[in-house]
């Protein structure tokens, strides 16, 4: 069993709704009697999950003194595995994917998941090596998106990109030295996987070589780069805009 702790109302409630069998126990601040606490209690009861009322000291111990909002949950992370094939086989529209290569900052990953959820991304893909994974901090920052957007960790990212190409999914990487900028890129209406690297080094060489096209984000100010979550929001929003206009 792969046990880990989640904290925050959004993260815990989203986990209860999407993967109720993975929630082992919920710990709620005994002093909270507000609407959010009542709603969470009712949801836990409806899903048959044990909820314990504890003091703040117990919650701090469970979460490492993180900003837990008065709630934490012990989960079996192994029961939330989602296979990429299952996601793609069930789609009723062109695939819309996000690939994160080398994101090691949990706050960045959490923000990427949040914007991916907002823009209707079907799955987020990341390599198992040199990636932060779904930590408690990631789930907290994602405000529930870590439990609603399928997060697929793969052993070999290059092989996964080749498999996406076999499914006729266009691989678009982001790079400052690209031949086309986002304002002139019109490939968002078809099956697409956006690839973003970390802020410092960008995509790894092999990942870059597997991209069908490289796209830059136009910059009009004095800064030379954007962090991963901001860049993610820009390219995903543009793709969603193109799809909306295309009907």
Binding site feature residues: 197, 217, 226
Cβ-contact 192, 119 below 8 angstroms: no
**Paired tokens of 98:** 């996000």
Distance in angstroms (rounded) separating the CA atoms of residues 73 and 51: 9
User: What is the rounded CA–CA span in Å between residue 226 and residue 177?
Assistant: 14
Q: How far is CA 58 from the centre of its chain?
A: 28
- DSSP class of residue 200? T
Per-residue b/e over 82-114, b at no fewer than 16 CB within 10 Å? Answer: eebeebbeeeeeebbbbbbbbbebbebbbbbbb
* Of 152, 122, 117, the residue nearest 11 (C-alpha): 117
Which residue ranges make up the annotated binding site for S-adenosyl-L-methionine? Answer: 197, 217, 226
C-alpha distances in Å from residue 81, one per residue of 64, 77, 78, 93, 152? 25, 8, 6, 23, 8
Whose tokens are 């070999």? That residue is 156
């Amino acid at each position: 069993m792969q046990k880990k702790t989640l904290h925050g109302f959004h993260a815990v409630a989203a986990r209860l709704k999407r993967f109720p069998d993975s929630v082992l126990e919920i710990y709620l601040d005994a002093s909270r009697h507000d609407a959010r606490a009542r709603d969470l209690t009712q949801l836990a009861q409806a899903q048959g999950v044990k909820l314990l009322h504890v003091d703040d000291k117990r919650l701090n111990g469970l979460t490492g003194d993180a900003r837990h909002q008065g709630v934490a949950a012990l989960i079996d992370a192994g029961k939330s595995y989602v296979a990429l094939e299952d996601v793609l086989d069930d789609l009723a529209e062109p695939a819309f994917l996000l690939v994160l290569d080398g994101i090691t900052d949990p706050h960045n990953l959490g923000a990427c998941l949040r914007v991916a959820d907002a823009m209707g991304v079907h799955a987020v893909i990341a390599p198992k090596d040199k990636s932060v994974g779904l930590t408690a901090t990631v789930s907290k920052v994602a405000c529930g998106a870590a439990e609603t957007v399928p997060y697929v960790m793969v052993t070999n990212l290059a092989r996964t990109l080749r498999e996406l190409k076999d499914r006729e999914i266009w691989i678009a990487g982001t790079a400052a030295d690209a031949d086309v900028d986002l304002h002139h890129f019109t490939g968002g209406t078809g099956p697409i996987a956006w690839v973003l690297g970390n802020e410092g080094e960008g995509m790894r060489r092999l990942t870059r070589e597997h991209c069908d096209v490289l796209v830059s984000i136009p910059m009009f100010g004095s800064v030379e780069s954007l962090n991963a979550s901001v860049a993610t929001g820009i390219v995903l929003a543009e793709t969603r805009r193109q799809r909306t206009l295309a009907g």
